[in-house]
Amino acid sequence: MTDGAFEQLVTDYQRLIYTICRQMVKDPDTAEDLVQETFLSAYLHREQCTPETVRPWLCRIAVNKAKDYLKSAWRRKVDPGGETAEDATPLPSAETLALDRVSAQRIEGLIRALHEPYLKVSVLYFLEQQPVEEIARRLRRPSKTVHTQLYRAKRLLQQKLNEGGI
């Protein structure tokens, strides 16, 4: 993998990796540090990854970095929130994680079931986490139109979620 290709990889996946780290460690500054560590590790081992497996490979590195951080003795000793192990929020159970995953899959299905003009905008915004300006540029629509379409898509999704009991 060339340096240019790796820079593009960082650009494409930095938000995803940050989201993973942020959800696991709950601290934005620590999450940013873990993103840096993830991409450093990925860069050092970039020959081990094939282009087809880049996304899961990066996600796995990020999860492992976050787990290592959470298990570290230094973190337990110097917790930025000042919490002791007894005060810490318990980790969610496997059942809760499974239910969250099922709910996320249902929501993704509802998003993909939307009709145009809401489908493309919603997929880019909710699933691919693209900013509104980028969506407007890619779809060649004014950003105000994209905002309006997202607002309406959110209302449609909320209605469907309420009807489905999610």
The answer to whether 123 and 111 are in contact (CB under 8 A) is yes
**Cβ of 6: how many Cβ atoms within 10 Å?**
14
Burial 52-68 (b: 16+ CB within 10 A, else e): eebeebbeebbbebbee
Where helices occur in the chain by DSSP H, the ranges are 3-25, 28-44, 54-71, 73-77, 94-112, 118-122, 132-139, 143-164
Q: Work out the pLDDT band at 144, boundaries 50, 70, 90.
A: very high
- Tell me the C-alpha distance between 59 and 67, whole Å: 12
Q: Which of 111, 118, 115, 109 is nearest to 139 (CA)?
A: 118
Q: Work out the pLDDT band at 15, boundaries 50, 70, 90.
A: very high
Continuous segment of H or E residues that includes residue 153:
helix 143-164
Q: Work out the pLDDT band at 72, boundaries 50, 70, 90.
A: confident
Q: Which of 148, 69, 161 is nearest to 113 (CA)?
A: 161
Task: Provide, rounded to the nearest whole percent, the portion of the chain with pLDDT above 70.
Answer: 82
* pLDDT recorded at residue 83: 52
- Tell me the C-alpha distance between 50 and 98, whole Å: 29
Q: Work out the pLDDT band at 53, boundaries 50, 70, 90.
A: confident
What is the number of alpha carbons within 13 Å of residue 15 lying toward its C-beta?
A: 9
Instruction: Please determine, for residue 138, whether its predicted confidence score (pLDDT) is greater than 80.
Output: yes
pLDDT in tens, 80-119: 555 544 455 666 666 676 666 777 788 888 888 888 889 9
